[in-house]
Amino acid sequence: MVGAVVLTLLLYLFAGLVGGAIPAGGQAPPAQGIRIYVEDNGIHTGIVLPKHAAGMGFDDLVRAGDLADPRYTGHGWLSIGWGDRAFYLGTPSWADVRPATIAAAAIGSDAVVMHVGHLPEPVGEPGVYPVMLTPDQYRRLVAAIRASFAARTDPVHGYGPSDAFYVARGRYSAVETCNSWTGRMLRAAGVPMGRWTPFPVTVTAWL
């Protein structure tokens, strides 16, 4: 039994690394444009982008009253990720990971959330990768991210005073992870990316 589980995990790891290495197209980054970032905390990846650029924004979806401390909405950037509600809320760091949480998320869940944080531009921060987009790419990225939000409901306060969780669309599973979502959003924008990006490294290796 243990051997079968280990083999399954190894096959999943191998398949994920292969899927992340297969290119899915995209265009070379422009020399000038709109800078965004991809962040990686070792478990979850997310996209950091300016609150307003190229005529696009999130003001109707993300509001000051959603935060434990509304003053943080004074920051000009948003960190946005997607994932399983129980896994996201329960694993802010590796120290919080539990086998039961991983197993439940891998089986699949329709209870998915958007994790949104308000922050200053993360220039030089560890685990943060800059990506340059054209205005058209940026608009495509924002449109794809906005489509991941479900109809607005009361948000849940996040890990601290500057972030919150919102109900999202989709289904989380071992195939569609938070990192798969990040890769899918970047592909929608035309950023060179792998075809399937279930792990953080399968996203960041392209950046």
**121 lies in a domain?**
yes
3-state secondary structure of 162: coil
Convert the pLDDT of each residue in 153-202 to its tens digit.
889 999 999 999 999 999 999 899 999 999 999 999 999 999 999 999 99
**183 lies in a domain?**
yes
Q: What integer pLDDT is reported at residue 10 of this predicted model?
A: 83
CA dist 154 → 56, 62, 108, 143 (Å): 23, 11, 24, 22
Domain count, the chain: 1
**28 lies in a domain?**
no
**117 lies in a domain?**
yes
Q: Which of 137, 145, 140, 135 is nearest to 48 (CA)?
A: 145
Q: What integer pLDDT is reported at residue 104 of this predicted model?
A: 65
Quick check: 197 and 22 in contact, CB under 8 A?
no
Domain region containing 94: 2-23+33-204
CA 113/CA 93 separation, integer angstroms: 17
**178 lies in a domain?**
yes
Mean pLDDT by 10 residues, the chain (207 residues): 74 89 92 96 93 96 96 97 86 67 73 96 96 98 98 90 97 94 98 97 97
CA 167/CA 31 separation, integer angstroms: 36
